[in-house]
Amino acid sequence: MSKKNHKIGLGAVYHGRIFRGRMETKIQLLSDKTINQIAAGEVVENPASVVKELVENAIDAGALRITVEIAGGGFQLIRVSDDGSGMGREDARLCLERHATSKIREADDLLSLSSMGFRGEALASIAAIAKLDLLTATAGASGTRVQVEGGHILHVEPCGRARGTTIEVRSLFYNVPARKKFQKSAPASSAEITKVLTLLALAHVEVGFELRQNERILFTLAPQTLEHRLEMLQTRAAELLGAEFLSASYQIEVQEGLCHVQGLVGHPLAARHNRSGQFLFINHRPVQCFPLGFAIRDAYGTRLSSDRHALFILHLSLPAALVDVNVHPQKKEVRLRDEKQLKDNLKMAVQVALERAEGTAMPALAAPVFLAEERGARPFSLDFTGQVERATFRPLELKDQQWADEWHAIGLYAHYLMVTSHALFPGKDGMVFVDLQAAEARILLERLLTAQRDAALSQHLLFPLTLSFAKAEMQLLETAQSELHQLGFELRAIGPNAMIIEAIPPFLEEHQVAEAFGDFLDLLHGDETSDERLKRLAARLSRVCRSRKKSYSVEEGKELVRALLKTQSPFHCPQGRATLYHMSKEELEKQFSTPKVL
């Protein structure tokens, strides 16, 4: 083989091709544009994350007043203006470079961070996927304007501006349409921005905030003094979360070692079925820290049932060396040193606050409500023993949905109706157990999804209910007015944080309304069509109804079964659980057969 052919042969072993004397490689350096867009994917999750980064930069710049303006859910426009320290011309250019920051100088600085931002990625990442306009000026100096599009600086020019910075972000995700497809709707995005700004406003009561959405002022919060921080936190909580949140909570301020705990803890009776009323801050940074959340839960002890979550707004002040905030690209999570000690301190602080409150005005927990048994035959109970533990109960499914028109039930055990199989389904032996709660949920769901909206689906309340919501929750409910109306609710806003409920579905009890709305709010963050959202809301509403401690009569059970068998999907409830369980005759006889003697 010649020298030339020998070289070609070696190249064939790897890739089969040689270019200008160098073999082609699989590993390549990414372009700056690609690198910036990848970084943007980590830092810029949605318009709310853009607002978070820009507002945190303003807070780090010493701003006392911050105005946030958005249009089209933040996709069309996000404008954040502040009265902070501002920047000079060179700093205005450098701040748009990746890993350019004024917050740290070396790696050791990460161990003692006091600023909200520090990575130096936010502005560069935002500029890579949007059209950005930066106006900034320091005290007594002329301003600078920098225009950027898709990560490329177009213009740098002088401009007039008072001290501070304004950053305008337009056409977010315009050059990454694939990412924009996975974003939420504009109304849902607006609510998410409100939620983010609520967190930051509760974290920094010394800063004034104003939020404008589509040229409408949503809220204006004046800056507060720090001389009486706890009282100022209460004022801000009432403005953002509603007066009911404040009236259902108690002050807490405890110094345990190096940990200073300050804030509000909620009354056990005000606990919710979700964590929407929980706000935790460490050194003024909104964070998620599940170990500390469990410590707060432990502090409540038996005051809370297992499916409830307490309300709280808690500020923890710790030495910076005990907190590692460099564990999440968006700084949502932290890692703690001496975690066990901090958990014990926090648990003790919450226990002290609850015990003090119990000694003054905390009433006893309300007893659970049980609906009385209605008309009909008296249900009987069975005590299954022996081999029945090995019985096989199979979800009943029939391809040919044929059943008898007239049949008799054997009886009731709890909320299960027992029927002989051949009576309900001719030609099938054994026994059928009908889960009446699951059946009721299926009937309710299909009724809601198929019935036309009319007066029969609502019952007007003699005394309308008033419910208090946070600013972000009010926005979500406004976007779901049509779906809630179709479900049978009639409601309207009567203030910045309150809704009046004038009518509810006839199958819902008044005491279940607050729980139902709490569940609805959990489901209103997705980006679904109206029909999809209505289906999910109806399924959740049926779950609320199903959670009732309700007893049934035999006649009621039979009526439910008749209605169930007329639905389009009678064999499963909205959550996928079987409504009908079958036990064959052979399986039944096996349980009572004489055991073999060895």
Q: Which amino acid is at 43?
A: V
Angle among Cα 188, 190, 196 to the nearest 5 degrees reads 105
Overall average pLDDT of the 181-196 stretch:
87
| Bridge partners, 332 (sequence order) | none
pLDDT for 485 = 82
Q: How many other CB atoms are there within 10 angstroms of residue 199's CB atom? A: 20
Give this prediction's pTM: 0.69
Least confidently predicted of 5-9, 116-120, 253-257, 361-365? 361-365
Least confidently predicted of 95-104, 159-168, 236-245? 95-104
pLDDT band at 392 (very low <50, low <70, confident <90, very high): very low
| Bridge partners, 314 (sequence order) | 263, 280
Token reading at 19: 């270019």
pLDDT of residue 307 exceeding 60, the answer is yes
Residue carrying structure tokens 């769901």: 445
Q: Which helix (H) or strand (E) holds 50?
A: helix 47-60
| Most trustworthy range by pLDDT among 15-24, 389-398, 506-515 | 506-515
Contact 317, 260 (CB under 8 A): yes
Residue 418, helix vs strand vs coil: strand
pLDDT for 366 = 31
| Bridge partners, 420 (sequence order) | 431
| Most trustworthy range by pLDDT among 161-170, 363-372, 511-520, 568-577 | 161-170
315-342 pLDDT per residue, tens: 988 887 777 665 555 556 667 777 788 8
pLDDT for 230 = 85
Q: What are the structural domains of the chain?
A: 1-27 (no CATH), 32-221 (3.30.565.10), 230-358 (3.30.230.10), 386-443+551-591 (3.30.1540.20), 459-504+510-546 (3.30.1370.100)
pLDDT of residue 201 exceeding 80, the answer is yes
Q: How many other CB atoms are there within 10 angstroms of residue 346's CB atom? A: 26
Query: If we measure between CA atoms, which residue out of 353, 358, 336 comes closest to residue 259?
Result: 336
pLDDT for 48 = 92
Q: Which residues of 35-50 are buried (b: 16+ CB within 10 A; e: fewer)?
A: ebbebbeebbbbbbbb
76-102 pLDDT per residue, tens: 999 999 999 888 888 888 888 876 565
pLDDT of residue 143 exceeding 50, the answer is yes
pLDDT of residue 193 exceeding 90, the answer is yes
Alpha-carbon gap, residue 400 to 319, rounded angstroms: 69
Contact 88, 103 (CB under 8 A): no
pLDDT for 549 = 52
pLDDT of residue 24 exceeding 70, the answer is no
Q: Which residues of 207-219 are buried (b: 16+ CB within 10 A; e: fewer)?
A: bbbbbbbeeeebb
531-584 pLDDT per residue, tens: 666 666 666 666 666 555 567 788 888 888 888 888 877 888 776 778 888 787
**Sequence-ordered list of residues with C-beta below 8 angstroms from that of 413, at least 6 positions apart, any chain:** 379, 380, 381, 382
pLDDT band at 393 (very low <50, low <70, confident <90, very high): very low
pLDDT for 13 = 44
pLDDT for 544 = 64
Alpha-carbon gap, residue 295 to 573, rounded angstroms: 36
pLDDT band at 137 (very low <50, low <70, confident <90, very high): very high
pLDDT of residue 380 exceeding 80, the answer is no
pLDDT of residue 108 exceeding 50, the answer is no
439-492 pLDDT per residue, tens: 887 887 777 666 544 444 678 888 888 888 888 888 888 878 877 887 788 888
pLDDT of residue 363 exceeding 90, the answer is no
Overall average pLDDT of the 139-157 stretch:
90
